[in-house]
Amino acid sequence: MMEAITPVDAVPALDREEAARLSRVEYERFADQLRSLAVGDWTKRTECPAWDVRAMAAHVLGMMEGFSSLREFVHQMSSAKKAAGDGPFIDGLTAVQVRDRSDLSPPLLLERIVGMGPRASRSRRNVPGPLRRITMKQEVGGVEEKWRFGYLLDVILTRDCWMHRIDIARATDREFHATPDHDGRIVADVVAEWGRRHGAPFTLRLSGPAGGVFTTGTVGEEIEIDAIEFCRTLSGRARGAGLLGQEVPF
């Protein structure tokens, strides 16, 4: 049986409706993952050095609440500037999210995440077009970029939650539940952006349920790697050589 090969330029961009569907499923899976944790799992360290599992869940909840309430959004944005100091704004933002939820027990964190999931997904979906076209500055791999707000809403916020679900699975030594329709679609979108960012020819074989074979159709670097490890590498969580050194934001 011949393997299915996807030309990378044939991977469709996420539209608003598909992005909303992916975000709903991802929030549900994140909540399911937290439900599966034992009491001792919440204090285990993650690959984000400053965070244990509880702090990582608080960050995810903070993102959900910050993009579901204008008042909370304004609070987080204004507080983040002070918290960041001379450092990256995103570090100040996430620090505020974790700090503001530091008094929530794991059961309360889970309860809030379950309750916020549908609302957060709906709020992101309903941000109007003019706001989606506003640009913002963000640093990726030491280079300042300009992102449209819609890219943050439709792509990055879901990738962020997804990657933290991987982080928690690794921290607690649990299986990461991946499916072709959901996780495979997120991975394919990452592959397409990765290809655009480096612009070089390649053939990429990703193993696992979220994997697939992607190519530019021309001779180039050939890479074989697990799909989840591919994304971890592009996020900076693992060292990558060659084209795998091209960072992609999560």
Q: Give tens-digit pLDDT for 103-144.
A: 999 999 999 999 999 999 999 999 999 999 999 888 888 888
pLDDT higher than threshold 80 for residue 2: no
CA atoms of 236 and 62, how far apart (whole Å): 23
Cα–Cα distance, 183 to 208 (Å, whole number): 10
List, for residues 178-187, the tens digit of each pLDDT value. Answer: 999 999 999 9
User: From CA 167, how far away is CA 159, in angstroms rounded?
Assistant: 12
- Give pLDDT tens digits for 212-241: 999 998 889 999 999 999 999 999 999 999
Q: Which two tokens stand for residue 228?
A: 């989840």
Query: Where are the alpha helices (H) located in the chain, listed in sequence order?
Result: 16-35, 53-66, 70-84, 89-100, 106-126, 129-132, 149-151, 157-171, 183-198, 227-234
Bridge partner residues of 170 (DSSP): none
Exposure of 35 by Cβ count < 10 A (0-12 exposed, 13-18 middle, 19+ buried)? exposed
Is residue 210 within 8 A of residue 227, CB to CB? The reply is yes
DSSP state of 156: I
Which string of DSSP letters, residue by residue, matches 170-214?
A: HHTT------TTTHHHHHHHHHHHHHHHH---EEEEEESTT-EEE
Find residue 7's DSSP bridge partners.
215
Domains of the chain: 5-10+181-245 (no CATH), 16-171 (1.20.120.450)
